[in-house]
């Protein structure tokens, strides 16, 4: 368990304390089980998130193997990144949904978990040239915001041009892990920069916390069509810790075991035992392998790009 640094172990105890302290009133709200068709309906988004790990030369002509052939009609328009300083990404048109899809790659899970368990993660305001009109009380993870900013303008330009060329009526952002955090920021970014008749939807997998409570409630108001899918005991969704001032927006779907998932109410305060913050109270209770899947039979990560 090389990801368990001593720092991580040291704060794991405080995380448990703060989880309890942060929600003194345990709201008795129920989870909603997902129907099997709702669960199966996630597959195309899962395959897009998986394809984001494939080399841009393979997503450029949509020849990345299973992940690409699962969404066979997709028309890529822009691919890039180097998988290192800039995560791979792609933007394209999905005819069956008349949508533009924007996807970002994630990163090495064990390294990522250890980075995000650092007790000193800087937060920053969103860049007002990319995110116009956001209150200064909204703070986000500085590393995620910087990474998002590298590709934001180019992705927006391509998205706008696909909307006008194809008459697309929605934009869908997807990603896993760090890519989930980037897709979450992209969902807000697109909402703030596209005309209001363009519907923005986002589906993310194994996403860490991106911002503070003001960010979460701002996001909730702007991006109602949001699902963040957490698999079993994946610890990535519980970092960075709530005790460090981070909070998820709404939209948790928790896969309890293959074939069984629930939709969790609220933001990051669903106290039901079936939701992530109760299932994974601290990272020692997590299992990083669950980060890779299976998300209803589909694994996501570099080695699953076949």
Ligand X SMILES: *[C@@H]1O[C@H](CO)[C@@H](O)[C@H](O)[C@H]1NC(C)=O
Q: Which of 13, 224 has the CB closer to ligand X?
A: 13
Neighbours of 87 (CB within 10 A): 25
Q: Which of 281, 294 has the CB closer to ligand X?
A: 281
Minimum CB separation of residue 281 from ligand X in Å reads 4
Straight-line distance from the first to the last Cα atom of the chain, in angstroms, rounded to the nearest whole number:
27
Q: Which of 9, 153 has the CB closer to ligand X?
A: 9
User: Cis bond leading into 297, ω under 30°?
Assistant: no
Q: Which of 181, 275 has the CB closer to ligand X?
A: 275
Q: Which of 140, 270 has the CB closer to ligand X?
A: 270
Give the span between the Cα atoms of 92 and 90, in whole angstroms: 7
Q: For the chain, give percent helix, strand, coil, nearest 5.
A: 40, 20, 40
Q: Which of 52, 239 has the CB closer to ligand X?
A: 239
Minimum CB separation of residue 284 from ligand X in Å reads 5
Total residues interacting with ligand X, rule: CB under 6 A: 7
Q: Which of residues 269-298 bind ligand X (CB under 6 A)?
A: 281-282, 284-285
Minimum CB separation of residue 203 from ligand X in Å reads 29
How many secondary structure helices (H) and strands (E) does the chain include?
10, 11
Minimum CB separation of residue 9 from ligand X in Å reads 6
Asked if 113 touches ligand X (CB under 6 A), the answer is: no
Please choose, out of 11-19, 132-140, 159-167, 224-232, the segment that lies near ligand X by the rule CB under 6 A. Answer: 11-19
Minimum CB separation of residue 107 from ligand X in Å reads 25
Please choose, out of 10-18, 51-59, 122-130, 188-196, the segment that lies near ligand X by the rule CB under 6 A. Answer: 10-18
Q: Which of 1, 303 has the CB closer to ligand X?
A: 1
Q: Which of residues 165-224 bind ligand X (CB under 6 A)?
A: none
101: phi then psi, degrees, rounded to nearest 5:
-110, 135
Supply 123's token pair. Answer: 């937060």
Minimum CB separation of residue 108 from ligand X in Å reads 24
Q: Which of 5, 284 has the CB closer to ligand X?
A: 284
List CB contacts of 113: < 8 A, sequence separation 6 or more.
3, 235, 236, 239, 283, 288, 291
Q: Which of 13, 41, 132, 221 binds ligand X (CB under 6 A)?
A: 13
80: nearest Cα among 60, 106, 100, 109: 60
Question: From residue 72 to residue 111, what is the string marking binding to ligand X with x (rule CB under 6 A)?
Answer: ----------------------------------------
Handedness of CA 56, 58, 63, 66 (dihedral sign): negative
**3-state secondary structure (DSSP) of residue 66:** helix
Supply 247's token pair. Answer: 């909070």
Distances (CA, A) of 136 to 62, 110, 123, 125, 188: 41, 33, 12, 6, 15
Q: Which of 117, 204 has the CB closer to ligand X?
A: 117
Give the span between the Cα atoms of 248 and 213, in whole angstroms: 8
Q: Which of 3, 4, 5, 16 binds ligand X (CB under 6 A)?
A: 16
H helix or E strand, kind and range, residue 275? none
Please choose, out of 8-16, 45-53, 151-159, 206-214, the segment that lies near ligand X by the rule CB under 6 A. Answer: 8-16
Q: Which residues here bind ligand X, judged by CB under 6 A? A: 12-13, 16, 281-282, 284-285
């Amino acid at each position: 368990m090389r990801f368990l640094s001593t720092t991580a172990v040291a704060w794991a105890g405080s995380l448990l304390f703060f989880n309890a302290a942060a929600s003194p009133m345990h709201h008795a709200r129920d989870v909603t089980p997902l129907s099997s068709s709702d669960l199966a309906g996630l597959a195309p988004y899962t395959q897009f998130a998986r394809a984001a790990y494939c080399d841009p030369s393979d997503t450029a002509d949509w020849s990345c193997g299973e992940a690409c052939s699962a969404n066979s009609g997709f028309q890529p328009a822009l691919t890039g990144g180097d998988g290192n300083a800039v995560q791979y990404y792609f933007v394209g048109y999905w005819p069956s949904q008349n949508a533009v899809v924007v996807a970002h790659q994630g990163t090495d899970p064990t390294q990522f978990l250890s980075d995000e368990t650092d007790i000193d993660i800087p937060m920053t305001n969103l860049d007002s040239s990319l995110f116009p009109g956001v209150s200064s009380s909204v703070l986000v993870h500085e590393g995620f915001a910087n990474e998002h900013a590298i590709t934001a303008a180019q992705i927006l330009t391509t998205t706008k041009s696909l909307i006008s060329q194809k008459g697309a009526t929605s934009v869908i952002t997807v990603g896993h892990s760090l890519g989930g955090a980037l897709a979450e920021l992209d969902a807000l970014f697109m909402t703030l920069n596209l005309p209001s008749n363009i519907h923005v939807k986002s589906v993310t997998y194994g996403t860490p916390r991106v911002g503070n409570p003001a960010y979460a409630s701002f996001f909730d108001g702007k991006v109602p069509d949001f699902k963040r899918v957490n698999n079993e005991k994946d610890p990535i969704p519980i970092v960075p810790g709530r005790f460090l001032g981070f909070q998820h927006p709404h939209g948790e779907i928790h896969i309890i075991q293959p074939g069984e998932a629930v939709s969790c109410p609220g933001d990051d305060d669903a106290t039901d035992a079936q939701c992530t913050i109760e299932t994974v109270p601290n990272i020692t209770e997590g299992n990083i392998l669950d980060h890779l899947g299976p998300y209803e039979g589909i694994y996501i990560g570099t080695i699953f790009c076949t």
